[in-house]
Homo-oligomer: A and B are copies of this chain.
Amino acid sequence: MKKIMLLLCLFTLLGSQYAMSQRKTKYRAIYQLNSDDDKVIRNTLRNIKNALEDPRLQGKVTIELVAHGGGVTAYKKDQPYESLLQELQDKGVLLVECENTLRERKISKEELFPFIHYTPSGNGELIIKQKEGWSYIHP
């Protein structure tokens, strides 16, 4: 009986401490891109770079960029953002496109860079990730 109680206590304590350490050591941020405006696209990509290089976050932040609506423009092969995207991807940024947008705008995945990932809906992704503790930024 005592053993069970002790195990229960330890289990609970360790659980809380693990959760707390997770919360302290790792930052995660999800960026939204829903504009096809060249200035907004470039600002968003530069903002992500700045966040990665912030001395308080270096090596401690995971970033995902979710494009939906007009934001799909940034991921298209016929657009001039490949090297900027590649640079972010090399630093571990996950580049994600909304599949609803592809359907609505009749764009095939072949038109996007091969290193793009997909999510059923960009908005669902933003909701789910925030629920999991990710910070959200709308540039």
A106 within 8 Å of B by Cβ? no
Q: Mark A20-52, 1 if CB is under 8 A from B, else 0.
A: 000100010100101000000001000110110
What is the interface residue range for chain A against chain B?
A: 35 or more
A86 within 8 A of B: no
Contacts of A16 in B (CB 8 A): 12, 15-16
Copies in the complex: 3
Cβ B123 vs Cβ A47 within 8 A: yes
As a 0/1 sequence over residues 84 to 122 of chain A, the CB contacts with chain B under 8 angstroms (1 = contact) are: 000000000000001010000000000000000000111
Q: 4 tightest A-B contacts by CB?
A: A54-B124, A130-B135, A51-B123, A54-B121
